[in-house]
């Protein structure tokens, strides 16, 4: 997979490598990607109580702000839910003049109208609303690893006797200390299916990562699919690594590579 990639495409890519038997975590909403349907949702006085809920952050767009709803929904796909809201709800959510954005933070207890934070309808204001919604997403589902902890964590993903408790490892290499919102959302969505971790850029060389930030997806390959020249000795494991997914940030992919990890991490 090469070239600039949108959040929906990254989610689809990871879906293909997630164990189908495992249940997805509560986060990561935003259906409709790839099937031509709208990425934003219509929110009215009749359906708001049922629709605007759950743990995902929400952006309710009113008036002029709603004109860019699809672009906003595409930018935050799988991370924040976006609704085109009826004007009759504007005052309820604190949006003055019938035009602007109401932001509801991550968490089921944050969806009451009284908890909404209102933003204007300008491009800058909408951007601020997106940033606030994304920053509310927790990073509990992404392990922050170091040189001292990476091997133990990877062994936990592999499981006893190479059983692979989760179907793949998704590793983010970055010089930053904070986990990006997209990676936090993916960690929630694929909880129990993929192992997510963030590593210092300095550890990239160990995984043949030449440039950061970058994301590597590592998953086991059946022995009969590994080229003979790359087959490890008996009792050891081979991985196929796709990456780097991100060449600048986690919304871009830049090529794929094939690698063989000759021994299981100790």
Domains defined for the chain, CATH in brackets: 7-23+141-242 (3.40.30.10), 41-135 (3.40.30.10)
Q: Which residues contact 8 (CB under 8 A, 6 or more apart)?
A: 30, 33, 34, 39, 74, 77, 78
pLDDT at res. 257: 31
pLDDT at res. 162: 53
Distance CA 30, CA 51 (A): 12
In which band, very low, low, confident or very high, does the pLDDT at 232 lie, cut at 50, 70 and 90? low
Q: Give 128-156 pLDDT, tens digit per residue.
A: 999 999 999 998 899 999 999 998 898 88
Phi, psi of 117 (to 5 degrees): -110, 125
In which band, very low, low, confident or very high, does the pLDDT at 4 lie, cut at 50, 70 and 90? very low
Residue 226 has pLDDT above 60, yes or no: no
Token pair in block for residue 29: 């909403």
Distance CA 180, CA 137 (A): 10
| Residue located via tokens 């600039």 | 4
Token pair in block for residue 151: 């091997």
Q: What is the pTM of this model?
A: 0.68
């Amino acid at each position: 997979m090469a070239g600039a990639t949108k959040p929906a495409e990254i989610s689809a890519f990871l879906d293909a490598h997630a164990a189908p038997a495992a249940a997805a975590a509560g986060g990561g909403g935003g259906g409709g990607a790839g099937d031509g349907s709208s990425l934003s949702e219509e929110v009215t006085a009749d359906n708001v109580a049922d629709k605007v809920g759950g743990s995902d952050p929400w952006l309710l767009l009113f008036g002029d702000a709603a004109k860019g709803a699809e672009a906003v929904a595409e930018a935050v796909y799988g991370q924040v839910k976006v609704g085109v809201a009826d004007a009759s709800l504007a005052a309820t959510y604190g949006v003055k003049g019938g035009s602007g954005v109401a932001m509801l933070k991550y968490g089921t207890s944050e969806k009451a109208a009284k908890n909404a934070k209102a933003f204007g309808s300008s491009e800058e204001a909408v951007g601020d609303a997106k940033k606030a919604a994304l920053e509310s997403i927790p990073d509990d589902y992404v392990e922050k690893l170091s040189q001292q902890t990476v091997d133990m964590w990877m062994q936990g993903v592999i499981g006893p006797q190479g059983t692979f408790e989760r179907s793949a490892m998704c590793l983010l290499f970055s010089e930053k200390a904070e986990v990006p919102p997209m990676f936090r959302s993916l960690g929630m969505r694929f909880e129990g299916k993929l192992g997510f971790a963030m590593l210092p850029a300095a550890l990239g060389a160990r995984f043949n990562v030449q440039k950061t930030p970058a994301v590597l997806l590592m998953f086991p390959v059946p022995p009969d699919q590994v080229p003979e020249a790359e087959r490890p000795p008996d009792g050891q494991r081979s991985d196929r690594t796709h990456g780097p997914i991100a060449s600048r940030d986690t919304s871009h992919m830049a090529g794929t590579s094939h690698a063989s990890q000759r021994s299981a991490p100790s």
